[in-house]
Amino acid sequence: MITRSQEIEERAGELIADLMCVAARTAPKAKGVDNLVVMMVKAREKDQLAEEMRKIAKSSGAQFFERDAGCLDKAVAVILLGQKAKPLGVAPCGYCGYGNCAGCAQHDGLCAISIGDLGIAIGSAVSIAALHHIDNRVMFSAGKAALNLGLFPEDVTIAYGIPLSISGKSPFFDR
C-alpha cells in the first residue's frame, strides 16, 4: 500500500489541530473558570472566514485583513479561540480600567484576567503546533471575522484565529 504525501498531510493537519484544541482547553484558567470557546474550521467554512476578512479589508481600509485572508486560502484549517471576557471577581485588580469587577460589569468592560486566560490558551495551542512543526500564525483578523460571522456564541467578545499550513514554505512568513 502507498500513502501519498497529500493524504498524510491532511490527516496530520487535522490531528495536530485537534491536539491544539485540547491544549487550549486544558490551559490554566484564572480561578478555575473556563470561559474559552474552541473550534476548528476548514473547507467551506474556512473559505467563508477568508471572504469575511476581505470584506472587512474593503470596508475598513485595513489591508492586513486582505493579506491575512490570502494566508487562510493556503491553510489546511484554522483554529478559532474565543473568550467570554466576563469579570471573574478577582480583588484587588482593576486591570480592566474600571477599578473593580462591579465597575467592569456595569460598563460592559472586558476582564483583563479573562483575556489573559485567552492568551495562555493561545500559547498552549501554538506550542503544540511548534512541537509538531506545522506552520501557523496567530491572527486577530481571523478572530474578528469569525465574530462578525457569528461563529461564536453572543457572549464571546474577543477571538483570535490560528491558521495551519503544511507546505515546503510557510505562507505566514515574508507576507
Reference 81, options 35, 39, 140; nearest CA is: 39
Q: In the chain, how many domains are there?
A: 1
Q: What is the pTM of this model?
A: 0.95
The number of C-alpha atoms within 13 Å of 45 and in the hemisphere containing its C-beta is 13
Q: Is residue 172 part of a domain?
A: no
Q: In what order do the strands lie in the sheet with 36-41?
A: 36-41, 77-83, 158-165, 135-136
Instruction: Return the CATH number at 125.
Output: 3.40.109.10
Structural domain of 105: 13-165
Between 112-131 and 5-26, two packed helices, what is the crossing angle to 10 degrees? 150
Q: What does the alpha-carbon distance between residue 87 and residue 114 come to, in Å, rounded to a whole number?
A: 7
Assess whether pLDDT exceeds 70 at residue 175.
no
Q: Is residue 173 part of a domain?
A: no
Predicted local distance difference test score (pLDDT) of residue 52: 98
Q: Is residue 111 part of a domain?
A: yes
Q: What is the pLDDT of residues 71-129, one digit of tens each?
A: 999 999 999 999 999 999 988 899 999 999 999 999 999 999 999 999 999 999 999 99
